[in-house]
C-alpha cells in the first residue's frame, strides 16, 4: 500500500526488518540477581550507635526488612531492632544503608547455626542489640572469633 502511494514520485521505499540474523543470534542479557531477593543471615545496623541486630530469614531479605520497618512505623514490640530505634528516638534508615547481608543460606539447621554464630560474634565485640539471654558459651565459636582477622566473617559486608 505504501509503495503505491509513492509510485509516481521520485521517492523510493525501502523495507527493513527488526528480526535479522544478528539480533536473533545475539545472546540475551540476563538481569543481575537482586541480593535482597535471597535468604540467609542479615544484620541491621543502628546508624547512630553502630550496634547490630543479627537475624535470619528463609524468605527474601527485602520482606524481612519491611517487617522490621513496619514494626518501627506502627510501634509494635515484635522487632528488637525497631524497639531500639524507637527507644533511642532515632530514625529508621533505608534498607541499603542499614541492612548488611552476612551469609546467603536456605532455611534449615545450617542457617540456625550461622545466625547463632554471628550473634555470638557481635556479643563478644560488644555491638549486639539481640536479646543477650539467647547467647550461650560456645568453644567452637570462641575459637573462630579469636583466630579470624574479621572475627569470623564469611562475606564482605555491603
Domain ranges across the chain: 37-147
pTM (two decimals): 0.72
- Tell me the per-residue pLDDT of 48-85, one tens digit each, with 9 for 90 and over: 999 999 999 999 999 999 999 999 999 988 899 999 99
Burial level of 25, CB count in 10 A (0-12/13-18/19+)?
A: exposed
Q: Is the dihedral of CA 107, 109, 149, 135 positive or negative?
A: positive
Average pLDDT value over all residues in the chain: 85
- Tell me the per-residue pLDDT of 13-54, one tens digit each, with 9 for 90 and over: 777 777 777 777 777 777 778 899 999 999 999 999 999 999
Q: What is the pLDDT of residue 38?
A: 95
What topology does CATH give the domain 37-147? GIY-YIG endonuclease (3.40.1440)
Amino acid at each position: 500500500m505504501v509503495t503505491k502511494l509513492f509510485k509516481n514520485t521520485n521517492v523510493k521505499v525501502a523495507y527493513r526488518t527488526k528480526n535479522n540474523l544478528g539480533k536473533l543470534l545475539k545472546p540475551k542479557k540476563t538481569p543481575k540477581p537482586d541480593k535482597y531477593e535471597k535468604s540467609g543471615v542479615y544484620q541491621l545496623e543502628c546508624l547512630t550507635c553502630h550496634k547490630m541486630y543479627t537475624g535470619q530469614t528463609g524468605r527474601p531479605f527485602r520482606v524481612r526488612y519491611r517487617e522490621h520497618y513496619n514494626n518501627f512505623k506502627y510501634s509494635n514490640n515484635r522487632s528488637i531492632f525497631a524497639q531500639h530505634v524507637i527507644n533511642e528516638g532515632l530514625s529508621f534508615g533505608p534498607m541499603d544503608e542499614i541492612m548488611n547481608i552476612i551469609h546467603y543460606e536456605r532455611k534449615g539447621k545450617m542457617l540456625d547455626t550461622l545466625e547463632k554464630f554471628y550473634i555470638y560474634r557481635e556479643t563478644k565485640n560488644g555491638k549486639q542489640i539481640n536479646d543477650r539471654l539467647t547467647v550461650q558459651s560456645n568453644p567452637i565459636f570462641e575459637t573462630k572469633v579469636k583466630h579470624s582477622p574479621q572475627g569470623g566473617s564469611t562475606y564482605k559486608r555491603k
